[in-house]
Structure 1
Amino acid sequence: MTSKIEQKQKLNEVYHSGVTTIYSARADRRFCYTLYVPRRLAQMDRSKTTILVSVHGTLRMQSQYRDMFAEFAEYNNCIVLAPLFPANVLGDGNMSGYKFMREQDIRYDLIVLDMAREVAEKYSVSDEKLFMFGFSGGGHFTHRFTLLHPDRIKAASVGAPGVVTLADPDKPWWVGTKGAEEIVGQAVDLSKLKGKPIHFVIGAADRETWEITIEEGDSCYMPGINDSGESRQERIRSLKASFARHGALTKLDAVDDVTHEVELVIHKTREFFADVLNGTYIPDV
C-alpha cells in the first residue's frame, strides 16, 4: 500500500516537476501560468536558479512558449514560467491588452511579478532577477516590461514586436516613455538600462506590415506611433538603437530566410541566455 509520503512524492513528480499542470494566478484568477521545472532541481544550487518568463504572442500558444525552453532549463538551472493572458478578458473583444501593460484596472506587469513570486516561494528560489522572452505580442510585453522594471530583469530577449515603445523620454508613452507613470502607473528610469543585456531577434524575411500599421481610430493609436519604421525590421532596429543610447548591452540577430516564425528564431534566444549565464555574452559594437 502506498504511504502518504510516497503519494505526495508521486504527485510532485507528475504535476509539479518537468511539464506542470496549469495554475491560476493568485493575484488575479482570470489569468494562469504553466511551468517547466527541472527534474533535477533537488540536486541543483537553488540560490542560482533563474526564473525564465516566456510570454506568448497573440495566438496564445502558452505550452509552446514553455516547451521551447524545457531542455534549456534542465541544463541551465532555470524554471520556465509561461503565463496565459486570454483575449477578450473584459468582454470588449480586445486581443492586445496585455501587450501594453495596462487594461483598465489590470496591471499585467504586476501580475507577472506576482506569478514569479508565487513560483519562487513554492520552489525556494529567487525571483529578484528574471530572464524574459517574448515574440510578436510577447515581444511587445517584454520590451515594455523591461522599460518599466529594468531592476527586475537579468536579461531580456525581444522577438519581432510589431509596435514598439522607444526608450525615449521626450516622446509620450506608447511612442516613448514620457508620462508612463500617469498612464500605466509605473515611472520609467532609463538610467537603469545601463549594462543590461538586451537581445533582439527577428526573421530576416519578416516583412509583412498589414498587422502592425496603426490607423487613427485604433485603441492604441497616437501621433507618431508608426514613426519607428514601416516594417518590423525597421522597428526592431529603432528599438535596439534607443536602448543602446541609454547604455543597454544590445545585440540583434536576424535569422536568414525566416519570416514571422518563433520556432525558427528561438535558438538565438537560447544561445543569448546561455551566454549571459556563462559570462560569454558579447553585445554588438
Structure 2
Amino acid sequence: MSKTFSTLKKVILYTISILSLLAITGYVYLYVLPKGPEISEKNKINSGIDSFVIHAYKESKRKSIRVWTYKPEGWEDQDKIVFVMHGGGRNADDYLDAWTEIAEENNLLVVAPEFENKFYKYTTNDYQEGNLFTFFGTSNPKSEWAYTVVENIFDYIKSTNNITNERYYMFGHSAGGQFVHRMVILMPEARIETAVAANAGFYSFPDESIEYPYGLKNTGISLENDLQKSYKKKLIVLLGELDNDPALGTFRTTELAMKQGGHRLERGSNFFKMNQELSNQYSWTFNWKIDTVSNVGHDYRKMSENSVGWILD
C-alpha cells in the first residue's frame, strides 16, 4: 500500500513538474522573446499597395507588427483614414485587397494592421479580445493592449507622413468585428470618428457579473461611470441578413456564447438591444446604430462594401 502511494506521489510530482515546465516555456516564448517581422525604415506611405513594420508598443521593442496600406493617388492630408481589421485568419492582406477598389472610388487611405500569431487557431486573447489578458489569464498593461497598438499606428502614420488628421474611421468583420466593438467599449478615448463592427461571432455584453470577453467583469469598466462615454462614440453594429447559419466561419459554441444567441445575426441584435435599453435606463446619449444588410451572409467583401455609406456619412 505504502509503495503504491509512493509511486502515485512520484507520478503526480513528475506530472506537475512537466506541466510547470511547459507553462514557463510557453510564457517565455509568447511574452518574453521578441516577436514579429523586422522593423522597416521610416518612409512615407506610397500610393497603391504598401506596407511597413513598426514596434507595436511604445514602451517596449518586444513585439513588431506589419501594417498594410492602400493610398489613392489623389489622397491628401485631411482626407479620410480607415483602419480595416481582419478576421480570425489574421489575413490583413486579403482584407486590404477587398478595400482597394472602395478606397479608389471614395478616396480613402486604408490601413490594415496584421496581428500575426502562429497559434491563432487556438488563441484569441491577443487580437479580438484586445490583449487585456495573456493566454495564461494574467493582466497586460494598457500600453500593450491591441487597441493601444492601433493608436500607436495612427501616431506613426501622422508623424511619418505629415498628416494632421485628428480622427480615423474603423471597420472590422467577424473577429475584426469583435475587436472593433470591444475597442469602443474599453477605450472610448480612442480617436475613432465612426466604427463599424460587422458580423462579430460574439460580444462583450454590458454585464459586470459575466467574465470578459462575454461580459465586462475584471475589465475595470463600470457600467454607470464608463459606458456612457462609449455610447457617445459612433458605433455601427452591421449584420448580414443571411449570417444566421452557425456553420459559417468559426462560430463559438461555449455556454456563455450560446446564451447570446443561436447565430451571429441574433447575437448582434441582442447585443445592440441590451446596450440601447441600458442607455435609456440612465437617459444617456446613445450614438450607436444597427443596420442589417439584405441578402448577405458571413462575407467580409460584401460587408465591407456596405459599410462605406456609414463611413462617408
One of 30, 36, 47 as aligned partner of 2:70: 36
Secondary structure of 2:220's aligned partner:
helix
2:36 maps to which residue? Answer: none
Secondary structure of 1:268's aligned partner:
helix
1:17 maps to which residue? Answer: 47
1:185 maps to which residue? Answer: none
1:231 maps to which residue? Answer: 263
Question: 1:101-160 CA distances to partner (integer Å, 9 max, x unpaired)?
Answer: 115255211222111111111122246432111000111111111111223221110110
- Cα deviation, residue 71, structure 1: 4.4
One of 120, 123, 129 as aligned partner of 1:100: 129
RMSD: 2.8
- Over 3 Å counting, the alpha-carbon distance change for 1:61 and 1:250 in structure 2 is same
Q: Distance in 1 between matches of 2:198 and 2:171?
A: 7
- Over 3 Å counting, the alpha-carbon distance change for 1:59 and 1:194 in structure 2 is closer
2:31 maps to which residue? Answer: none
Report the AA paired with residue 235 of structure 1: R
Secondary structure of 1:68's aligned partner:
helix
Q: Which deviates the most, 68-77 or 254-263?
A: 68-77
1:5 maps to which residue? Answer: none
1:267 maps to which residue? Answer: 305
1:86 maps to which residue? Answer: 116
1:56 maps to which residue? Answer: 86
Question: 1:16-35 CA distances to partner (integer Å, 9 max, x unpaired)?
Answer: 22221x21122254421111
- Cα deviation, residue 189, structure 1: 1.9
Mapped pair 1:138 → 2:176: yes
Checking the alignment, whether the CA contact within 8 Å between 1:117 and 1:127 is kept in structure 2 is no
1:159 maps to which residue? Answer: 198
Q: Distance in 2 between matches of 1:127 and 1:111?
A: 18
TM-score normalised by structure 2 residue count: 0.69
1:204 maps to which residue? Answer: 241
- Over 3 Å counting, the alpha-carbon distance change for 1:25 and 1:136 in structure 2 is same
- Over 3 Å counting, the alpha-carbon distance change for 1:59 and 1:89 in structure 2 is closer
Identical aligned residues as a percent: 23
Report the AA paired with residue 158 of structure 1: A
Which segments of 5 or more consecutive residues in structure 2 lack a partner in the other structure? 1-42, 58-62, 135-139, 280-284
- Cα deviation, residue 166, structure 1: 1.6
2:95 maps to which residue? Answer: 65
- Over 3 Å counting, the alpha-carbon distance change for 1:137 and 1:59 in structure 2 is same
- Cα deviation, residue 63, structure 1: 2.2
Checking the alignment, whether the CA contact within 8 Å between 1:49 and 1:125 is kept in structure 2 is no
Report the AA paired with residue 159 of structure 1: A
- Cα deviation, residue 209, structure 1: 2.2
Report the AA paired with residue 156 of structure 2: E
Q: Report the count of equivalent residues.
A: 245
1:191 maps to which residue? Answer: 228
Checking the alignment, whether the CA contact within 8 Å between 1:62 and 1:83 is kept in structure 2 is yes
- Cα deviation, residue 194, structure 1: 3.4
TM-score normalised by structure 1 residue count: 0.75
Report the AA paired with residue 141 of structure 1: F
Superposed, 1:110-149 pairs within 5 Å as 110-126=148-164, 128-149=166-187
Q: Distance in 2 between matches of 1:195 and 1:229?
A: 26
- Cα deviation, residue 273, structure 1: 0.5
Report the AA paired with residue 52 of structure 2: Y
Report the AA paired with residue 176 of structure 1: G
Q: Distance in 1 between matches of 2:105 and 2:164?
A: 18
Q: Distance in 1 between matches of 2:172 and 2:232?
A: 21
Checking the alignment, whether the CA contact within 8 Å between 1:87 and 1:93 is kept in structure 2 is no
- Cα deviation, residue 233, structure 1: 1.0
Checking the alignment, whether the CA contact within 8 Å between 2:241 and 2:296 is kept in structure 1 is yes
Report the AA paired with residue 174 of structure 2: S
- Cα deviation, residue 89, structure 1: 5.6
